[in-house]
Structure 1
Amino acid sequence: MTIRVYGLQTEQRAEPLGIDHPRPRLSWKLDSDRRGAAQTAYRITAALQPADRPLWDTGRRESSEGLLVSWDGPVLQSATRYHWRVEIWDETGTPAGSAASWFETGLLHRTDWTAVWVGRDLLALPPVDPPGAHDVAGGELFQPPLHLRRTFDLDRRPVRARLYATARGVYEPWLNGVRIGDHELAPGWTEYHRRLQYQTYDVTGLVDDGPNVLGAVVADGWWSGYIGFDPRRAAQHYGDCPAYLAQLVLDFADGSRRVIATDAGWTEQPGAVLSADLLMGQVVDARRGTGTGGFAPVAILDAEPGPLVAQPDEPVRVTAELPAVTVELRAPGQYVVDFGQNLVGRVRLTLRSAPRGHLVSIRHAETLAGGELYVANLRRAAAADRYIAAGEPQEVFEPQFTIHGFRYIEIDGHPGELAAADVVARVLHSDTAWTGRFECSDPVTNQLYANIGWGQRGNFVAVPTDCPQRDERLGWLADAQIFAPTASRNADVAAFFARWMRDVVDGQDTGGAFRDVAPVITMHREAAPAWGDAGVIIPWHLWRTYGDRQALADSFDAMTAWIAHVRRHNPDLRWRHRTGNHYGDWLQIDATTPREVLATAYFARSTAIVAAAADVLGRQRAAAEHRALHTAIRDAFITSYVRADGTVEGETQTAYLLALAFGLLPDELIPVAVKHLAADIERRGNRLTTGFVGVPLLCPVLAQHGRADLAYALLHQDEFPSWGYSIRHGATTIWERWDGWTEHGGFQADAMNSFNHYSLGSVGEWLFGRVAGIDQTPGSVAYRELLLRPLPGGRLTWARAEQDTARGLVACGWAVTGDRITVTATVPPGCTALLEVPTAEPASVREHDEPARARPGVLGAEPSATGLTVRLTSGRYTFTASHTPDHTPVQEMS
């Protein structure tokens, strides 16, 4: 079989429409059934049309690389589509495969923009007090969204038409009565004063000869709507009203061009959407359709476009629909609907024969309390949508400028019998391609993995939020850095995190301190330990996982400034000063890890990462300085917090985990510290105490140090506190806190009790990396050198995972049947792997009943503490070995 070239990307996106990178990076992946298959050379050609003579031709380049290859062809032109093709040669020098893709540039220069910002002329169209808005959320800051339109005539149809649009707020564009594109909540949320994203839409098929109507509805969104939880600044963080900027570029067959841009020729008229807010909900009066109100001129708010950038990652989209599982009539016109899954999005409701002017309301909740919607944890977020019927035989209500976290809804005022088919949950999130899959023989573990995935979907909405339901929904840095390894197992989050890191860097203050959240709104304080460290950890993760050197370089100065900030205020290298709102091991349970132990451990870890990053970027002086600083911090940690008996100050699980995971113990004390950690877990009946900071380290550290039995015991625990406890009580997402609800205490404090956070789901990294076994060697980048270490244990009889990495599909799994274990592995072309086959007798490892060493693709094998380590080239493999049911190889290490 030849090598299949697939997964072509430009700037980490498939066929992006409207990029503004001057030298875009091109990538491709490889797949082959042939063992030892590898790329040894490539050739890239690019042209304006696939059949045209190339305007860029690399010629044959001897290289095995297919990841983020920079464009070094001619200067790119604005608003131009480029078709590119890659051909590869295999390990024998034979042409082996090819594939084609395209990308299109956006508006690359300030002079390309002729549009001006338009908004409401308050003198021409006074604000409307929308019916019901006050009832929804106090209403004093509500104003109707902009309903904008511009008419124009054409004597012929264009051969190409593009709409370039953005908003201060969130917008939905329309052309000739048809909604444009599938973006939701565009333009997303960034540090608006530094960067405002615009989107590009292909509207060639929507433009008519003759009269045309270009329109948009623009709501408050993050710009001027409610966000966060500061009662002193509940809304209007960036401005007090929405605005719109757009231009429609029409190209004709004769080479002429016409631009329809936002200007004084646009008008506004009252529309059906009376109010819309991300947290509070949306009110629609269907009686007020197009043409039911007079036109008013718009106001020109700003002639300068501002800091516009093309959106570099996938937008928020509707990615799934969930039907109602149960529909229960509670009272006349009142129904409670259960969708069976805690999710993030909105509801599409079909009404039949609703009287004109009839009001229907929808409230949302994650769970029930005493059979009623539990909404106390929403705090000030009303999460309620309202619809006033037009009186048609059938009407469909689906809000477009709000988003809710919910499993249950209550419909009030429904005019008749509600059929299950008439109510559908629509799932929204940033549309990162799902690239990972894990499954095993244990249904509870599978449910845990499903909960992790739903938590990621629900909280990756423009930014990595903390929660999707209450009056918060902020991009908390610690949550993101803790979960990033798991997130990148599940989905391709390279462009998503690289874009968000610009917000993290933009939020850094002049002294080098990152902030707790990004984008920054009202929380101006310096970041806490583990929170601010995300500014160091995530860029490094993007390098290791996706090979994104640019993301690392773009963040490097900010990374070093953060370390300098901490060092400047803590000259004794114990991080005790300038710790922001120190959260410690946030939401730890039945334990208190000393804050300065946690802070100093993170100081050491981030410093080590900066040193490694400096090596990658060729910054030798910075690398040497930070290596020396790391050594000094480590010495200070050991001197201050580690005793001769191997105990770590605080003697909590998280204290030991930090010291072990971050290499902050003398070698001779490591086994003793592991025993202290294990003893604490066992003393508690195999229960954890870790909060946000400790939990991602828990199972990996135990497995690494010979206590996989304890790691599995924690995974399978279903008594409080544990992942299994929440699942046993119906959780379909990861809870914010272990005690969000308990049999003995009911609901925790309403002020902070989300049932959809992803932080405690960071165990997902371990499910992929050790349970199924997909990892990479310490020196590997983007899974070039795989480390496949399946780890049988617990009550599992089999487990497997696959991950479509930046280089291609990696898979690993195992199954135990009787006294035999079968291990399967897939290694992409051009990659190598060290596969650790866990076996009772290393010599028993065979592939298809032949000695493993004799098979093609197997480079060698040698005994290890866990069985046999086999060195592999690319290909698909199946190994069998002897395995006794009571044999857990890693236990032999202790």
Structure 2
Amino acid sequence: MSPSSATLTSAPPHGSRREPHGLPRDPQRDGHADRLREALRDARWIAPAEPHPLPAGERPAMLLRRTFAVPPHGGTGPVLVHATAHGVYELFLNGVRVGDEELTPGFTAYRKRLQVQTWDITDLLHEGDNTIAALLSDGWFRGRHGFERRPDGFGDRTVLLAAVVASDAEGTRSPRTLVATDDAWTSRTSHITRADLMDGQTTDLRRHDPAWYRGAGSPVGWLPVEPLDADGDSTGGCSTDLIADRARLVPAEGPPVRRIEELAPAAVREARPGSVLVDFGQNLNGWVRLTALGPAGTRLTLTHGEHLDPDGLLTTDHLRAFVFSTGQTLPAGQVDEVVSAGRDGDVFEPRHTTHGFRYVQVDGLPSAVGAEQVRAGIRAVVVHSDLAPVGTFACSDPRLEALHEAVRWSLRGNVCAVPTDCPQRERSGFTGDWQVFVATAALLYDVKEFSERWLRDLAADQWADGRVPTVVPNPAGDRPSGVVFEDAAAGSAGWGDAAVIVPWELWRAYGDLDALREQLPAMCRWVDHAAARAAGARHPDRTARRPVPAAHEHALLDTGFHFGEWLEPGVPPRPDPVADHGIVATAYLHRSAHLLARTGALLGLPDVEQRYAALADAARDAWQREYVGVDGRLTEESQAHYVRALAFDLLPPAQRTAAAARLVELIAERGGTLGTGFLSTGMLLPVLADHGHAEIAYDLLTSEDAPSWLGMLAAGATTVWEWWDGVDVDGNARGSLNHYSKGAVASFLYTHVAGIRLVDEPTPGEAAYRRVRIAPVPDARLTWARASLATPRGPVRTAWSVEEGLFTIDVAFPEGTVGDVELPDGRHRRLGAGAYRLTCPWPARPEAPGA
């Protein structure tokens, strides 16, 4: 049975699934990295021989191996293997797969940070000859990647670095290298004849020989590897700088990618002769495992997609991207192939690719293999970073429970090594997506270490002028790529602000001052960049209207490319580099500068606090003077602009009530539907509820009219769509059907429906649920709601119900948490650790906001 195609067979896992909030930060991280590099001192970078290079998307996975002798090691300590690669690799010892991690070493800012995996392999070794082998494919390093599917983003050669190291039990002697990557290794094309993360994988099981992994098998096809030394070879796309720079090697960080669970088909039917359509009932990220392979020579094609066309057949047309400069449409990819060897027990499981899908169409089935055989032999394997779940929510409206699940699955589909925008079309770490969603993500899963790792990549890829690329990790690294649109988009407001907002939200949720301190330089560089852009240029339209600049304009950010609100319903996306998005960009300049000032205060840096507080005040003043009319209305009206004005505290207190009322009017003008896009949707319902319009918030939350969240679910969504009208009334799809950004609404289920809220700007004594506000906002459409959160201190729970005119709430707090409970009638209670029940009349008549 093939180690790479069989049901997973692993050595004991390196560590277990992480508990909520992971392990304490390692204050010796730098020392750990130094020890790791020392353990790899005898290893050389090696590249598999590729005498006939193939085009991107058609390149095979290469097999590299070496047999080595292990002397008796009685009395010694553990034997560890350290390994990493440019590409994606699987490691094997004597035919057994090492560990249970997938897609190692993961996706990262390879030019400055490359993670090294470490496993204890003592139990896999024996005295005498042993064989270490690695399957190596393009992965993110040189595979086709991103919206435009450009290959070779980080280099055009895959390479491996590994060492097996033994230590003595007492630790008194230096670790001894048993084997390391060097010129004694050999390589060959594996049975995986095509492997690309986006295009898919082809496996020819007839070409597979399990003896290869044990140092035996046919010697035909094996060639010497090519060692790449620090001082020499740069001919294979492995630049001298990358090969030489071992300082970029870091220990594996955060939760690894794993196979999390398997789903059986929800429905299977014959689509046409020789073709079966499988519906797993859930949009997900991963791959399928298939045992119904047919007789030897059978070639099956598996096409993965999210949607069926009006005729009930799989379609991927809505996932096809295009080249910005030419408009050329690109293939959707997500196609796997397997050629059967006709052996009993063979399993196809393509672990060198991933797909975003709900449906799989299997073509090429022989007459002996029908729908029922496929049903019995196929499973969807859910693959993502192994995050610990922390939040639960339930209520009396099953539609809201379904919405919570759809958001949860959308997050799960987009946490594969890095936070991605979608798991099928782009799979890129868009900064804006995580900026708008990270606070919601922290209510669903423990995303602390996952996010901190990504923030280190963000800092590594930040440009010298402080600009933040639109996607992180970025193939171009910390400089322009030469692609016009990509370079112009770097630094867009709301996207680049992830440099500040993501660390701040992690501070609120997890309370780690060291993590905040680590990100401070990147935070400052971003805000300084935005402030310099504001002070250094004026929008041409403003210059034409007002030739002499007003005094406030030094803090008005109205130039450079910005996506703006992006994907508002009914507003076609037009990324225009000369459009004036000052009302959005200046709002974010204020917000990030304000949060940076608060960060300076937390870290005891008064110069930082004062400098950025002054900038925040100046940006708010500029925003008010430029965008608030004499009648108090915004000069550029939209739901999104009012939401931002209220959420970012941009308006004087005396104008907030009128602004909230105007927001409600704009909602009414749209027939009672929302009109927000990418950046402000997650803030819409909290803003309404917090400004006296909870009923309108619930109207939007429970509406099934387009555009709406429940409208998506009514149309069959199991994850959140990129477009509000992702599937039209005729059943036609557009864009990605798994984009979590609009799923930020799930935070409202926790913070307002159930009522568990963090302090907005917590002190060290309040962050990470040391102090929590319980303030549910009930609505007549619900009779009960409950939620729980596994916080760093323990579980926080709340459950309320309304019955016979009485509102009853049960709350529970762990040791170290103070809870401020606010009942709907306006009464407050401050409570310590323990469980409590409180009641008040319902309907309540609380005091008006601000009274």
Residue 413 of structure 2 corresponds to 458
Residue 228 of structure 1 corresponds to 146
Is the counterpart of residue 174 in structure 1 residue 174 in structure 2? Answer: no
Residue 436 of structure 2 corresponds to 482
* Aligned-pair CA distance for 1:68: 5.1
Residue 732 of structure 2 corresponds to 747
Read off the aligned partner of 1:249 and give its amino acid letter. V
C-alpha distance in 1 between matches for 2:139 and 2:31: 33
For 1:741, what is the secondary structure of its paired residue? coil
Read off the aligned partner of 1:390 and give its amino acid letter. A
Does the 8 Å contact 1:591/1:652 carry over to 2? no
Residue 504 of structure 1 corresponds to 458
C-alpha distance in 1 between matches for 2:340 and 2:27: 54
C-alpha distance in 2 between matches for 1:498 and 1:146: 32
Residue 666 of structure 1 corresponds to 652
Does the 8 Å contact 1:67/1:806 carry over to 2? no
For 1:587, what is the secondary structure of its paired residue? coil
Does the 8 Å contact 1:718/1:724 carry over to 2? yes
C-alpha distance in 1 between matches for 2:65 and 2:162: 11
* Aligned-pair CA distance for 1:185: 0.6
* Aligned-pair CA distance for 1:258: 4.2
Residue 119 of structure 2 corresponds to 201
For 1:763, what is the secondary structure of its paired residue? helix
For structure 1, which segment, 291-300 or 333-342, has the greater mean C-alpha deviation from structure 2 after superposition? 291-300
* TM-score computed with the length of structure 2 as normaliser: 0.85
* Aligned-pair CA distance for 1:267: 1.1
The structure where helix makes up a greater share of residues is 2
Residue 747 of structure 2 corresponds to 765
Cα 1:511–1:173 shift into 2, 3 Å: same
* Correspondence 1:31-430 to 2 at 5 A: 107-110=35-38, 112-122=40-50, 126-127=51-52, 139=55, 142-156=58-72, 159-230=77-148, 234-251=150-167, 257-290=176-209, 291-292=217-218, 293-303=220-230, 304=244, 306=246, 307-351=248-292, 354-370=294-310, 371-379=312-320, 380-415=331-366, 416-417=369-370, 418-430=373-385
Does the 8 Å contact 2:508/2:759 carry over to 1? no
Does the 8 Å contact 1:569/1:578 carry over to 2? yes
Which of 413, 424, 427 matches 1:473? 427
* Aligned-pair CA distance for 1:128: 7.3
C-alpha distance in 2 between matches for 1:200 and 1:834: 45
Does the 8 Å contact 2:91/2:98 carry over to 1? yes
For 2:302, what is the secondary structure of its paired residue? strand
For structure 1, which segment, 809-818 or 653-662, has the greater mean C-alpha deviation from structure 2 after superposition? 809-818
Runs of 5+ consecutive residues of structure 1 not aligned to the other structure = 1-14, 19-25, 30-65, 79-104, 130-138, 839-865
* Aligned-pair CA distance for 1:70: 7.1
Is the counterpart of residue 688 in structure 1 residue 674 in structure 2? Answer: yes
C-alpha distance in 1 between matches for 2:245 and 2:599: 36
Residue 570 of structure 1 corresponds to 534
Cα 1:591–1:207 shift into 2, 3 Å: same
For 1:395, what is the secondary structure of its paired residue? coil
Read off the aligned partner of 1:236 and give its amino acid letter. D
* Aligned-pair CA distance for 1:893: 6.9
Cα deviation, 1:4-50, whole Å, max 9, x if unaligned, reads xxxxxxxxxxx9869xxxxxxx9999xxxxxxxxxxxxxxxxxxxxx
Does the 8 Å contact 2:559/2:582 carry over to 1? no
Does the 8 Å contact 1:430/1:461 carry over to 2? yes
Cα 1:208–1:70 shift into 2, 3 Å: closer
* Aligned-pair CA distance for 1:393: 3.1
Residue 550 of structure 2 corresponds to none
Residue 876 of structure 1 corresponds to 835
Residue 132 of structure 1 corresponds to none
Residue 598 of structure 1 corresponds to 584
Residue 786 of structure 2 corresponds to 800
Residue 432 of structure 1 corresponds to 387
For 1:518, what is the secondary structure of its paired residue? coil
Residue 566 of structure 2 corresponds to 586
Residue 53 of structure 1 corresponds to none
Cα deviation, 1:233-290, whole Å, max 9, x if unaligned, reads x100111121111111134669784421111111113321111000000011111122
Cα 1:610–1:701 shift into 2, 3 Å: same
Cα 1:69–1:390 shift into 2, 3 Å: closer
Residue 799 of structure 2 corresponds to 813
* Correspondence 1:588-627 to 2 at 5 A: 588-590=568-570, 595-627=581-613
Read off the aligned partner of 2:224 and give its amino acid letter. P
Does the 8 Å contact 2:277/2:360 carry over to 1? yes
C-alpha distance in 2 between matches for 1:636 and 1:691: 24
* Aligned-pair CA distance for 1:427: 0.3
Cα 1:147–1:890 shift into 2, 3 Å: farther
C-alpha distance in 2 between matches for 1:182 and 1:587: 39
* Aligned-pair CA distance for 1:313: 0.3
Cα 1:810–1:226 shift into 2, 3 Å: same
Cα deviation, 1:357-413, whole Å, max 9, x if unaligned, reads 221110000010121112112323311111111121342101010000000000011
RMSD of the TM alignment (CA)?
2.5
* Aligned-pair CA distance for 1:659: 0.7
* Aligned-pair CA distance for 1:532: 0.6
Residue 859 of structure 1 corresponds to none
* TM-score computed with the length of structure 1 as normaliser: 0.81
Does the 8 Å contact 2:20/2:388 carry over to 1? no
* Aligned-pair CA distance for 1:436: 0.9
Read off the aligned partner of 1:568 and give its amino acid letter. A
Does the 8 Å contact 1:146/1:242 carry over to 2? no
Residue 560 of structure 1 corresponds to 524
C-alpha distance in 2 between matches for 1:396 and 1:69: 40
Runs of 5+ consecutive residues of structure 2 not aligned to the other structure = 1-12, 210-216, 231-243, 321-330, 476-480, 536-552, 573-578
Does the 8 Å contact 1:566/1:578 carry over to 2? no
C-alpha distance in 2 between matches for 1:257 and 1:719: 67
* Aligned-pair CA distance for 1:331: 2.6
C-alpha distance in 2 between matches for 1:799 and 1:16: 39
Residue 87 of structure 1 corresponds to none
C-alpha distance in 2 between matches for 1:458 and 1:413: 28
Cα 1:734–1:491 shift into 2, 3 Å: same
Aligned residue pair count: 759
C-alpha distance in 2 between matches for 1:357 and 1:889: 73
Read off the aligned partner of 1:393 and give its amino acid letter. D
Read off the aligned partner of 1:501 and give its amino acid letter. L
C-alpha distance in 2 between matches for 1:694 and 1:323: 37
Residue 728 of structure 1 corresponds to 714
Cα 1:77–1:633 shift into 2, 3 Å: closer
C-alpha distance in 1 between matches for 2:589 and 2:731: 38
Does the 8 Å contact 1:479/1:759 carry over to 2? yes
For 1:245, what is the secondary structure of its paired residue? strand
Cα 1:684–1:76 shift into 2, 3 Å: closer
* Aligned-pair CA distance for 1:765: 1.3
Cα 1:554–1:128 shift into 2, 3 Å: closer
Is the counterpart of residue 524 in structure 1 residue 487 in structure 2? Answer: yes
C-alpha distance in 2 between matches for 1:27 and 1:428: 18
Cα deviation, 1:194-242, whole Å, max 9, x if unaligned, reads 00111111212211223211111000000110001236xx100111121
